[in-house]
Amino acid sequence: MSKPKSAYSIPGKKQKSDTHVIVVWVDNEAGVLARVVGLFSGRGYNIESLAVAEVDSKLNISRITIVTTGTPQVIEQIKLQLGKLVPVHKVADFMRGDKKIIFKEMALLKIVGNNVKRKKAIKFCKKFNPVVLDKTNKSVVIQITALRREIDTIMNDLKKTGLVSVSRTGAVAMTRGAEVFK
């Protein structure tokens, strides 16, 4: 490479990226999600999935679960930067592969097809706690809970059974056992 024509330095070596699940407890107030999400976009961090809802209506606390990928340095920065936001109470960080943590995503799957196809579709979903939420003589809506990859796979399988629409949530996470993240 010829000499850089820039007032800035050239990028150094990149470290290996890992997928993490970041859980953030925040005051449930106007704009708080924008602050959290804006921090990610503004600093060039990526968001793979996002789930957010109020979990304590008395204390007015929402819990945000973000799946993100980054080098150890970036993950560290994400946590520290989140911790600086005024409405943020605490930040937890889990590796996606962590055995002590439960991750789950939910998906709603709409299948349109004859009886055979619909039955086949429900069978495919068997491993992932399928719940039939709606059915007609042409269609069925199935709810499943599973990991991201599993849902990816099943969506592929269901293509041949008449999958016409998918709606998915972001991952939510919780520690196993009696322990609670402080």
Partner 1 sequence: MSKLYSGAEIVFKCLEAQDVEYIFGYPGGAVLPIYDELKNHESIKHILARHEQGAGHAAEGYARSSGKPGVVLVTSGPGATNAVTALTDAYMDSIPLVCISGQVPTHLIGTDAFQECDTTGITRPCTKHNWLVKDVKDLSKIIHKAFEVATTGRPGPVLVDIPKDIQFQKTKYVNSIKRKKLNGKIHNKFNQGEIDQLVKLMVNSSKPILYTGGGVINSGPKASELLRELVSLTGFPITSTLQGLGSYPGDDNQFLGMLGMHGTYEANNAMHDCDLMINIGARFDDRITGKIDEFSPKSKKVHIDIDPSSINKNVKVDLPIVGDVSEVMLSVIKTLKKKHPNFASSNKEKTSKWWEKISEWRSVNSLNFINSDKTIKPQHAIQRLYELTKDKDTYITTEVGQHQMWAAQHYKFNKPNRWMTSGGLGTMGYGLPAAVGVQIAHPDKLVVDIAGEASVLMTIQEMSTAVQYNLPIKIFILNNEYMGMVRQWQELLHEKNYSESYTAALPDFVKLAEAYGCVGIRAKTPDELDEKIKEMINVNKPVIFDCLVDKEENCFPMIPSGKPHNQMLLGPNDQKENKITGKGKTLV
Rule CB under 8 A: which of 13-32 touch partner 1? Answer: 13, 30-31
Does 4 help bind partner 1 (rule: CB under 8 A)? Answer: yes
SS3 129: coil
Report the nearest approach of partner 1 to the CB of residue 94 (Å): 20
Report the nearest approach of partner 1 to the CB of residue 13 (Å): 7
Give residue 93's identity as a one-letter amino acid code: D
Does 73 help bind partner 1 (rule: CB under 8 A)? Answer: yes
Report the nearest approach of partner 1 to the CB of residue 80 (Å): 4
Which residue matches tokens 């209506």? 57
Question: What are the tokens at 91?
Answer: 């930040």
CB 175 within 8 A of CB 100: yes
- Among 2, 3, 44, 58, the residue binding partner 1 under the rule CB under 8 A is 3
Q: Which is nearer to partner 1, 10 or 178 (CB)?
A: 10
Q: In what order do the strands lie in the sheet with 18-27?
A: 49-56, 61-70, 18-27, 88-95
Which residue matches tokens 């704009």? 31
CA quadruple 167, 173, 177, 179: dihedral sign: negative
Does 180 help bind partner 1 (rule: CB under 8 A)? Answer: no
Does 34 help bind partner 1 (rule: CB under 8 A)? Answer: yes
Which range touches partner 1 (CB under 8 A), out of 8-16, 57-65, 148-156, 172-180? 8-16
Report the nearest approach of partner 1 to the CB of residue 156 (Å): 39
Question: What are the tokens at 129?
Answer: 């706690």
Contacts of residue 50, Cβ cutoff 8 Å, sequence gap at least 6: 37, 64, 65, 66, 67, 170
Q: Which is nearer to partner 1, 85 or 122 (CB)?
A: 85
Separation CA 89–CA 26 (nearest Å): 6
Does 87 help bind partner 1 (rule: CB under 8 A)? Answer: yes
Does 2 help bind partner 1 (rule: CB under 8 A)? Answer: no
Rule CB under 8 A: which of 88-127 touch partner 1? Answer: 88-90
